[in-house]
């Protein structure tokens, strides 16, 4: 029809038509197809870019909806965590209430049974100004199965002050022993430092000085290392809870301190 030329040969085409003319038609079809492909690709990409344009009203509305969904999810998670925390707090309070009720019940039972201490005995000094004491808890029924708890809850009066045991030993209904370490009113357990000696700088440019003290009035049979490390000392405007280094020489106990001194630089 008209002068249009088909993109492929037909039966009406002469068999002797030159091959160059057929190839020209075929190349034209390829070029058209490539052009259509690029046009289609450009249109699709342009549409996608429009769908992602933050200035586009539809895109902004979609983003706003996504944000609202995420916000609701976050609020739900926050509410869930708040509820879990409330439940934990209630459980903790219930546990504390049960523990307190049990303690009161045991205290009432202990008082009803009239348990008390006897044979209070002082022992060796354990550390600076501290002495060990023991006593035996009596009037404990043979059926009573919370003897250690009763021991730990029963105070004893030592030098006018009430103390509860530091630990207890259960050797049977009539042999529950409490142990105390009392750090008040124990002058026999309080040695002191004497014979102050300044050894000078450790070495030239060290920036440190060494001081030595002798430990006087060490309790008989006491652990000299423990008392050396816990007997406080004060000198040159400084205070220490005990010696930094301890040693014994010729039957005596000595403490050494090493501290910064600018005059040794």
Question: For the residues 81-89, what does the mean pLDDT come to?
Answer: 89
Give the CA angle between residues 139, 144, 150 to the nearest 5°: 70
* pLDDT above 90: residue 15: no
* pLDDT above 70: residue 27: no
260 contacts 207 by C-beta, under 8 angstroms: yes
Give the CA angle between residues 51, 57, 60 to the nearest 5°: 75
256 contacts 212 by C-beta, under 8 angstroms: yes
* pLDDT above 70: residue 22: no
54 vs 62: CA distance, rounded Å: 10
Read off the pTM.
0.56
Residue 91, classed as helix, strand or coil, is helix
Q: What is the pLDDT of residues 100-121, one digit of tens each?
A: 887 777 777 766 678 899 999 9
User: Of the spans 53-67, 97-111, 116-130, which averages the highest pLDDT?
Assistant: 116-130
194 vs 126: CA distance, rounded Å: 21
Higher per-residue confidence, 105 vs 225: 225
120 to each of 51, 86, 180, 219, how far by Cα in Å? 90, 49, 10, 21
Q: What is the pLDDT of residues 228-257, one digit of tens each?
A: 999 999 998 999 999 999 999 999 999 999
């Amino acid at each position: 029809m008209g002068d249009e030329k088909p993109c492929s040969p037909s039966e009406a085409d002469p068999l002797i038509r030159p091959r160059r003319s057929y190839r020209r038609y075929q190349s034209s079809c390829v070029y058209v197809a490539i052009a259509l492909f690029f046009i289609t690709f450009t249109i699709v990409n342009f549409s996608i870019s429009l769908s992602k344009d933050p200035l586009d009203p539809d895109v902004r509305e979609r983003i706003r909806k996504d944000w609202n969904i995420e916000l609701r999810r976050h609020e739900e998670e926050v509410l869930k965590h708040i509820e879990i925390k409330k439940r934990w707090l209630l459980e903790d309070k219930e546990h504390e209430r049960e523990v307190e009720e049990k303690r009161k019940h045991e205290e009432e039972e202990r008082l009803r049974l009239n348990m008390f201490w006897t044979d209070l005995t002082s022992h060796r000094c354990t550390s600076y100004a501290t002495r060990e004491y023991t006593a035996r808890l009596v009037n404990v029924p043979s059926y009573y199965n919370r003897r250690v708890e009763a021991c730990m809850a029963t105070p004893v009066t030592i030098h006018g002050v009430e103390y509860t045991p530091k630990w207890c030993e259960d050797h049977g209904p009539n042999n529950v022993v409490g142990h105390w370490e009392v750090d008040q009113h124990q002058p026999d357990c309080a040695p002191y430092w004497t014979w102050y000696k300044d050894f000078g700088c450790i070495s030239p440019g060290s920036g440190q000085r060494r001081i030595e003290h002798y430990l006087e009035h060490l309790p008989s049979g006491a652990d000299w290392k423990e008392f050396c490390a816990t007997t406080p000392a004060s000198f040159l405007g400084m205070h220490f809870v005990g010696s930094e280094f301890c040693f014994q020489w010729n039957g005596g106990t000595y403490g050494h301190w090493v501290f910064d001194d600018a005059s040794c630089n």
